Amino acid sequence: MASYENIKDISQGLNIVSGALHPECIYLIAEEFFDKKKHGNKCEDEWDFIGKFHIYLYKPLFMEQGNDWQGKLYSGMVDMTRVAVIPNRPPAFLGCISASGTIIYQANAKEEPENFQMTKNAIKARGRISDLAVIDNDIYATSSGGAVYKRITDENWEEIALSVTERFFSDDSFTNGFDCIDGFSADEIYVGGEKGILWICDKGKWRPIDLPYNKDIEQIVCAPDGYVYLNCCWKILKGRKDSWQIIDIDNHLPPSMGIAKMSWFKGGVYLLPDAASAIGLYCYRNDIIKQVPVGNIQIKPKKTISNNPLLNLEFTNAEVQVFIPGGLNDMMANDDLLMITGGNAVILFDGNRWFNLFNKNKSEEELRATGTFYDPREL
């Protein structure tokens, strides 16, 4: 067993780069960052650096208070930000090492970290694995070589698109293929890539789709409102099959600020910009984009002048207790929570309240003292 403090200690020198939300567990991915003084004798720069990463598990509903955290360390691998979870059946968690197609998975969220399994080169990828998605409780993957894979078993991933797409993505370096995937069902799957490339698998038949915008598609969200949302960084496209429109975000975000991540959550598409810690969080709902206030405002008395607490309200100041983490952000959501990760911290939103889940620079006691620490046993 591990405590929050154990995880805080072993996470020093790592960046929290991603995570996943399972109904029974919250997963965090932390990668070692390149330090010229520490690693310069082993590699030229951060692009050559292959360090270590950790998987942290927060499982308060299974553990006694104070022993809610677990951890798993891997070395000699990098870039496992592609993660999928299945709430209803195994695997509960599956992550993929992009360069090698190696997968790391946990069958059940209740299991100990020692039960994580690894299958090296499970996906014999054409290029790099660029994205994972859960569609109809099956896991799909895309590659930079224009391939799409469906998980049959942990060792067997079936390629389902190349018979049609291969001639479109035939460059030797396999760098211009697919970057993202999502779908409403196995009968309607969307994959996107560079220069506005969008393909649909419509009842088993693959074909390209023409779009009114030809910049890179970095993320696809097939939302419960029946629309597909495409994150093209500088633009958001909304549509389905052959009908698309451009959502105007220019008047809502500062100039030159793109969308880093996009997630459907409780009736809206949440938009996390680049430099979100300074710019903030936005939501597209009912054809309107609005900024989402991040952080609970806690009113604290400056001084006490009376035994009547109502009188003390005249001498109060407001303190924001939750902040969007700095650094490179990621965002993901399920039906209950939206999570934003950053270099040092992780925050959560339930649609009404913001919570601190983890901060490398603060103890659990410090976070609990703010009244914002996320503990579902106390909600």
Q: What is the pLDDT of residue 307?
A: 52
Token pair in block for residue 95: 């992550």
> What are the start-end ranges of the E strands in 286-337?
288-292, 297-301, 316-320, 330-333
Q: What is the mean pLDDT of residues 338-351?
A: 97
Q: What is the pLDDT of residue 77?
A: 75
Is the pLDDT score of 311 beyond 60? no
* Collapsed DSSP state (helix, strand, coil) of residue 202: strand
Reported as a single tens digit per residue, the pLDDT across 279-309 is 999 999 999 999 999 987 655 555 444 454 4
Percent of the chain with pLDDT over 90: 75
Q: What is the mean pLDDT of residues 186-193?
A: 97
Token pair in block for residue 97: 């090492």
Highest mean pLDDT (candidates 30-39, 299-308, 365-374): 365-374
Q: What is the pLDDT of residue 116?
A: 96
**CA-to-CA separations, 290 to 95, 251, 284, in angstroms, rounded:** 33, 11, 7
Of residues 202 and 252, which shows the higher confidence score? 202
Is the pLDDT score of 235 beyond 70? yes
Is the pLDDT score of 314 beyond 50? no
Band (33; pLDDT cuts 50, 70, 90): confident
Q: Which amino acid is at 164?
A: V
Q: What is the pLDDT of residue 76?
A: 75
Is the pLDDT score of 219 beyond 70? yes
Average pLDDT of the residues of the chain: 89
* Collapsed DSSP state (helix, strand, coil) of residue 331: strand
Q: What is the pLDDT of residue 316?
A: 44
In angstroms, rounded to a whole number, what is the distance separating the alpha carbons of residues 46 and 33? 8
Is the pLDDT score of 313 beyond 60? no
Band (48; pLDDT cuts 50, 70, 90): low
278-283 own/partner pairs: CB under 8 Å, 24+ apart: 279/253, 279/254, 280/324, 281/324, 281/340, 282/249, 282/252, 282/253
Q: Which of 2-16, 170-184, 299-313, 353-367 has the lowest mean pLDDT?
A: 299-313
Q: What is the mean pLDDT of residues 49-55?
A: 81
Going from N- to C-terminal start, the domains of the chain cover 260-379
- Taking the complete model, does pTM exceed 0.85, yes or no? yes
Highest mean pLDDT (candidates 148-152, 168-172, 173-177, 277-281): 148-152
Give the N- to C-terminal CA distance of the chain in Å, as an integer. 23
Phi/psi at 147 (nearest 5 deg)? Answer: -105, 155
Reported as a single tens digit per residue, the pLDDT across 244-256 is 999 988 877 777 7
Band (170; pLDDT cuts 50, 70, 90): confident
Reported as a single tens digit per residue, the pLDDT across 55-98 is 999 999 999 888 999 999 998 777 788 899 999 899 999 999 99
